[in-house]
Amino acid sequence: MVSKKNKTEELIVNPLYDILKKEYGFKNVFFLICSVISMGLLKTLFKINECGEKIFYSFFTLSFFVFLISIYPFIKKSIKDINLIVWPLFHEIIFKIINVVCFSLVLIGMFRFFNWLYSCIDPVETLKSLK
């Protein structure tokens, strides 16, 4: 019974592990995480202690280049996937943009109307005016 649960857990965990291992590589993920953390720490330490400006910029630049190198496989795969997308026609895109803008204007108008309506019948203001 226990072995069946372990096998199902392995089946759930293994696909993510396989994707990271085959397509991206653990070193790229590791370098990506380390570079983001080091850039954040360096920026925080620079704000705390402002001496050593050249050292800060050199380490920050190094971390940034490690970040760019480690993110390259992710971007490469994404660009390949974007090229497979069939985009809608230009007039369809414009029509959808106009729909979104109109919906946003109607929603803003409704908020302003209900705000005005509430300010007209506000119970607190009504009580203050009666006193």
Domain locations in the chain as residue ranges: 1-86, 87-131
For residue 90, what pLDDT is reported? 94
Q: State pLDDT tens for residues 33-65.
A: 888 888 888 777 776 666 667 777 888 888 888
In the predicted structure, residue 127 carries a pLDDT above the cut 70: no
Tell me whether residue 35 is exposed, middle or buried, using C-beta atoms within 10 angstroms of its C-beta: 0 to 12, 13 to 18, 19 or more. Answer: buried
Q: What is the pTM of this model?
A: 0.47
pLDDT at 20 over 80: no
d(CA 54, CA 61): 10
87: left (phi over 0), alpha (psi -120 to 50) or beta: beta
When pLDDT is cut at 50, 70 and 90, the band that residue 122 belongs to is confident
